[in-house]
Amino acid sequence: MPIVFILLLSASLLSPSNVLADSNQNKLILSSKEENTEQDSKTISQETKAELEPVIVTAPRVTIPIYKFPAAISVVGKDNIQLGQPTLGLGESLVRVPGVFIQDRFNFAQDVRISIRGFGARAAFGIRGIKILVDGIPLTLPDGQSQVDTIDLGATQRIEVMRGPISALYGNASGGVISIITEDGPAQPFLQERTTIGQFGLIKPELKSGGQIGPLNYLINLSYLDYGGYREQSLTRNFLINGKFRFHIDDSSDLTALVTIFDSPRADDPGALTEEQVNEDRRQASPLNKRFETGEEVSDQRIGLVYRKDFSGLHDLELNGYVNLREFDSSIPFRIVEFDRVFLGGGAKYGYLGNILGFQNRLTVGTDLQFQDDDRKNFNNIDGNKGDELLINQDEKVTNIGPYIQEEFNLMDNILLVLGGRYDYTRFSVDDFLDPNESGSRTFKQLTGRGGLLYSPIPEVNMYFNIAQSFETPTTTELVNRPDGKGGLNPDVEAQKAINYEIGAKGQAIGRLDYQLALYYISLRDELIPFEIEGRTFFRNAGKSRRHGLEAGLNFEVIDGFDTSLAYTYLNSKFEDFAVDDINFDGNEVPGIPPHLLNIELFYKNPYGFYGGFDLLYVSSFFVNDENTEKNDSYTVANLRLGLEKNFNGWDIAPYFGIQNLFNEKYNDNVRINSLGGRFFEPAPTFNVYGGLRLAYNF
């Protein structure tokens, strides 16, 4: 494979550079200027499908029509993210994407748990196994962990989801990619206020403004969340500011600054319950969590810069850099965890569009650099109070370097070959300041590759095949949490590795029908599995496991303004070689992964401003422990949203109303895998309503 890359690189740089992809022939790249002006109208809006305009995505690290890249990619548009939604978390939007399973939407101390094809299902808190990006800047740390509490759905234009192992493009923890693209300011400046109120003490006011001042495009959104929560001890309060400022340097280049300030002085954790406790009182908090007053405080500040330059449409360059400061204080059973984090990094990406002997090709090369420094301290939790004794006092550093290359080559007008590769160097080091000193380091090195072939016999049908690899190191938290209670790094946990084989078809037919179908098989080695001791979560490796599944997505515009959509997921995930303490789990299902998911949605929006949406989610039962002795029951949840948008002399007035859990289903929104004492279940809210008003003035 490296020889192929060298030959393609040499031929690309020596070949004539007068051939560009025509926009009517599924062009492969947009310049920065075109991308900025066309994103809003072409990328996401489901309202324009009948006009046959291409949906453009950037998750494959290139700008390309969604149907013209050999991978399973879905896009969620602004209407499904913001319109009539309470905008409390990513789960509201991503449930409609096949292959994606969302849990923990109502416990803000644990963060939403997102899994793609089973990757990420093990997360005790935060997100694992999935690469998260906002406007091209990674939220995922070099150790593979992501926190998404700083994502602002109130200013999100679209969400792109690339499903399946893809470390060849993004490195560590790339079982899938979620790329969030925020709004640009409109040409006409505006000021908007939006307030949502609802049951269980929900209050969320937001203030947004944006526009264009000379060469500067800007958008700023402020929000405050005060949510009492459905269960005892689940109060959360946070304040979030997000700003996006793009300076137009000239016709071929721009510089974008992204600023985030987040403060969460309180996010309580009600904990998980046994089945008996759920049946007794589903709104109660875990007695263990009440005793130790579990929850967290977070402060987070981030700034990122992205520079883009287009050279005559043949060459393009993108540079980015970012700094993130995070202070974290968490109370969990028996422990209080504190750390101060510095996360910084940058990247460079160069693209060349040319031809080889008359055949169109595009070459992309780049590198990502990331550094993470956590100053961590652990204390005893004495009934909610911090003990005097330092249990852990250490400085944890993670460094990642990841050069990558990708080549897209048109073998024929309707056949595209994609090859890619990446090398990742990830080093963990710990300076332990206690006695005995457990200082040390661990280094993970991994070469991953991918290959894909796309064949389009007719414009409405795009068939593809790909093979892609991923690897996933243990996160810092997983490495420093040692069952023996010592500091330093756990020497017994290894990186998880996977390879994905996939065939699929996708396209747009009769101007109103979008479809996608993917079948895949994934082989995993050393899958990371959580287990619990005295309320603390640790990790171990399963020898071998495998997954195979099917994903189907369908969107049909019945008449103008009336969309129906369906997303179905089948996933079979089993251990093949896994034993703990002479207990053999071979053939057992991997816990935390439901075999069946089905989401159906109806949405109508008429020219007079009225809109209404109804969605229904079915989740099949699934096991919650390695022994496969306990299950989370299946459930079906329906939601309804209604609203009206009107304009009067420059004022936009938009009231909205919603019902969550319309049929009052009693279900568990989250499970804690392999939890001690049978405390697996976190009940979800029953029937509840919310409503609000969006008021904007256009200057």
Could you read off the pLDDT of 22-36 as tens digits, one per residue? 333 333 333 333 333
Q: Among 229, 111, 149, which Cα is nearest to 670's?
A: 111
What mean pLDDT is predicted for residues 452-480? 91
H-only helix segments in 158-313: 167-170, 275-280, 287-292
Could you read off the pLDDT of 98-140 as tens digits, one per residue? 999 998 778 888 888 899 999 988 777 778 889 999 999 999 9
Task: Grade residue 258 by pLDDT with cuts at 50, 70 and 90.
Answer: very high
Question: What is the structure's pLDDT at 511?
Answer: 77
Instruction: Phi first, then psi: give them for residue 680, nearest 5 degrees.
Output: -95, -25
CATH architecture of 2-698: Beta Barrel (2.40)
Could you read off the pLDDT of 83-95 as tens digits, one per residue? 999 999 998 999 9
Residue 651 burial (CB count, 10 A)? 11
CA distances, 551 to each of 56, 117, 446, 569, 571 (Å): 21, 9, 29, 5, 9
Question: What is the structure's pLDDT at 668?
Answer: 95
Give the amino acid at 13. Answer: L
- Which has the minimum average pLDDT: 99-108, 271-280, 283-292, 449-458? 99-108
Question: What is the structure's pLDDT at 126?
Answer: 76
DSSP 3-state assignment of 214?
A: coil
Tell me: pLDDT of 433 over 60. Answer: yes
Cross-strand partners of 211: 218
Q: Rounded distance, CA 363 to CA 5, Å?
A: 9
Tell me: pLDDT of 14 over 50. Answer: no
DSSP 3-state assignment of 545?
A: strand
Question: What is the structure's pLDDT at 510?
Answer: 83
Q: Which two tokens stand for residue 285?
A: 């908090």
Question: What is the structure's pLDDT at 33?
Answer: 34
Tell me: pLDDT of 41 over 60. Answer: no
Q: Rounded distance, CA 554 to CA 515, Å?
A: 5
Question: What is the structure's pLDDT at 137?
Answer: 95
* Mean confidence (pLDDT) of the chain: 88
CA distances, 285 to each of 231, 593, 661, 686, 688 (Å): 6, 25, 21, 16, 19
- Which has the minimum average pLDDT: 47-51, 344-348, 394-398, 676-680? 47-51
Tell me: pLDDT of 202 over 90. Answer: yes
Q: How many CA atoms lie within 13 A of 152 on its CB side?
A: 27
H/E element, 35: helix 32-38
DSSP 3-state assignment of 367?
A: strand
Task: Grade residue 54 by pLDDT with cuts at 50, 70 and 90.
Answer: low
Are the beta carbons of 125 and 112 closer than 8 angstroms?
A: no
Instruction: Phi first, then psi: give them for residue 289, nearest 5 degrees.
Output: -70, -35
Question: What is the structure's pLDDT at 485?
Answer: 64
Residue 214, phi-psi category: left (phi > 0), alpha (psi -120 to 50), beta (remainder): left
Task: Grade residue 239 by pLDDT with cuts at 50, 70 and 90.
Answer: very high
Question: What is the structure's pLDDT at 30?
Answer: 30
- Which has the minimum average pLDDT: 117-126, 267-276, 608-617? 117-126
Instruction: Phi first, then psi: give them for residue 61, nearest 5 degrees.
Output: 70, 10
Which regions of 560-650 does DSSP assign to beta strands (E)?
562-577, 579-580, 583-584, 596-605, 610-619, 622-623, 631-632, 635-644, 646-648
More confident residue, 211 or 107: 211
- Angle at CA of residue 258, ends 257 and 263, nearest 5°: 145
Q: How many residues does the chain have?
A: 699
Q: Which two tokens stand for residue 691?
A: 């409503």
Q: Which two tokens stand for residue 277?
A: 């406790």
> Residue 600: CB partners within 8 Å, gap ≥ 6?
564, 565, 566, 615, 616
Task: Grade residue 481 by pLDDT with cuts at 50, 70 and 90.
Answer: low
Q: Rounded distance, CA 562 to CA 480, Å?
A: 52
Tell me: pLDDT of 651 over 90. Answer: yes
What mean pLDDT is predicted for residues 575-583? 86
Q: Rounded distance, CA 98 to CA 82, Å?
A: 20
Q: Among 627, 673, 392, which Cα is nearest to 532's?
A: 673
Q: Using CA of residue 230, residue 231, residue 232, residue 236, what is the dihedral sign?
A: negative
Could you read off the pLDDT of 369-384 as tens digits, one per residue? 999 999 999 999 999 9
CA distances, 12 to each of 60, 356, 366, 449 (Å): 20, 6, 16, 20
Q: Rounded distance, CA 653 to CA 669, Å?
A: 34
| DSSP conformational letter for 43 | I
Q: Rounded distance, CA 248 to CA 233, Å?
A: 48
Question: What is the structure's pLDDT at 104?
Answer: 78
Question: What is the structure's pLDDT at 55?
Answer: 83
Instruction: Map out the domains of the chain as residue ranges.
Output: 2-698
**Does the predicted model carry a pTM greater than 0.85?**
yes
Tell me: pLDDT of 96 over 80. Answer: yes
Question: What is the structure's pLDDT at 201?
Answer: 96
Q: Rounded distance, CA 672 to CA 271, Å?
A: 9
What mean pLDDT is predicted for residues 3-27? 34
Question: What is the structure's pLDDT at 312?
Answer: 83
Question: What is the structure's pLDDT at 19?
Answer: 29
CA distances, 363 to each of 28, 235, 316, 406, 415 (Å): 11, 50, 11, 6, 16
pLDDT > 90: percent of the chain: 71
More confident residue, 42 or 152: 152
Question: What is the structure's pLDDT at 607?
Answer: 92
Question: What is the structure's pLDDT at 105?
Answer: 76
Cross-strand partners of 511: none
What mean pLDDT is predicted for residues 240-250? 97
Question: What is the structure's pLDDT at 53?
Answer: 58
Question: What is the structure's pLDDT at 107?
Answer: 87
| DSSP conformational letter for 401 | E
